[in-house]
Structure 1
Amino acid sequence: MDYKAISKETVGFLYQSHASIRKSGLDNKLVALVELRVSQLNGCAYCCSFHNTELRQMGFSQDALDKLPGWKHSKAFDHQQQLVLLWAEAITLMRDDLQPIREMLEQQFTQKEIVELTASISLMNALNRLRITLGEKD
């Protein structure tokens, strides 16, 4: 189903939100990293491929990207990257420990950055679900 064409305005607003997040001042490498991790958790093949390519173009090594599913057991990611990955997983899986993770985020990021990061994770979950349930298989 061509859901983008069927609901141009609604889906268009989602993509406008994505563009806004990318212009928000939050490090786009962190945004793309959480977008890839969320897509991995949700199993969106198209988005995984897209964000893998994007991250390589941003300078991430293939070795680091290969280790992303096991990031908790890898030295490939710095503290800030680990923190946003933890937040992405907690939101995507709706874990019970959101508050302590948010408190850790508040030590590293501004309130605006936390809002933008959280919006990015939430939006990627929505886009993954649209693609998986209504899009063509890749």
Structure 2
Amino acid sequence: MKARFDFYNASPDTMKAVFATQKVIDATGLEHRLVELVKLRASQINGCLFCMSMHAADARNRGIPNEVLDTLPGWHEAPWFSQRERAALAWTDHLTRLSDADHDDEALYRALADQFTEKECTDLTYVIGVINMLNRFGVGFRRAPD
């Protein structure tokens, strides 16, 4: 797969704004493991090869075990995801697949609200939105892993 063009160089001001979002994510107080799992999961769903490679490496560097990362697509079944992580991953799956989503999402939201404060729900949704935006750059312009 050949990249279509280098979007970093094409619009540096836009990309600076996009990457400034990481400072906001870091300031949320959400657990690093949770954030990395959410980023990787959304990237898997969206098929963003660049982001999958980058976030898997970031997760490993943060000490997340390979067995966790290797089984992330099957998070429903794997025993090593906490209830909080399961709620976040279900929310990630739902918001990443909006066009396929069951819009009667009250049970899904209740599971989320049982694990997260309103601030955390907002911050988690921000993380999900940002990674989905970044996936669109990676997929749309065919960014390959370095």
> Under a length normalisation based on structure 1, what TM-score does the superposition of the two structures give?
0.92
CA contact (8 A) 2:83 2:115 kept: no
Give the corresponding residue for 2:31: 27
Same amino acid, percent of matched pairs: 33
d(CA) in 2 for partners of 1:46, 1:136: 6
Which of 67, 75, 78 is matched with 2:82 structurally? 78
Provide the secondary structure at the position in 2 that maps to 1:75.
coil
Change in CA separation of 1:4 and 1:97 when aligned onto 2, cut-off 3 Å? farther
Give the corresponding residue for 1:114: 121
Provide the secondary structure at the position in 2 that maps to 1:38.
helix
Which of 129, 133, 137 is matched with 2:140 structurally? 133
Provide the secondary structure at the position in 1 that maps to 2:144.
coil
Residue segments in structure 1 that go unaligned for 5+ positions in a row: none
CA contact (8 A) 1:3 1:135 kept: no
Change in CA separation of 1:98 and 1:16 when aligned onto 2, cut-off 3 Å? farther
1:83-98 equivalences under 5 Å are: 83-94=87-98, 95=101, 96-98=103-105
Give the corresponding residue for 1:54: 58
CA contact (8 A) 1:38 1:89 kept: yes
Which of 45, 48, 73 is matched with 1:44 structurally? 48
- Runs of 4 or more off by more than 6 Å in structure 1? none
Change in CA separation of 1:38 and 1:2 when aligned onto 2, cut-off 3 Å? same
The one-letter code matched in structure 1 to 2:18 is L
1:5-16 equivalences under 5 Å are: 5-16=9-20
Give the corresponding residue for 2:131: 124
Deviation larger for 38-47 or 12-21: 12-21
RMSD after superposition: 1.4
> Under a length normalisation based on structure 2, what TM-score does the superposition of the two structures give?
0.87
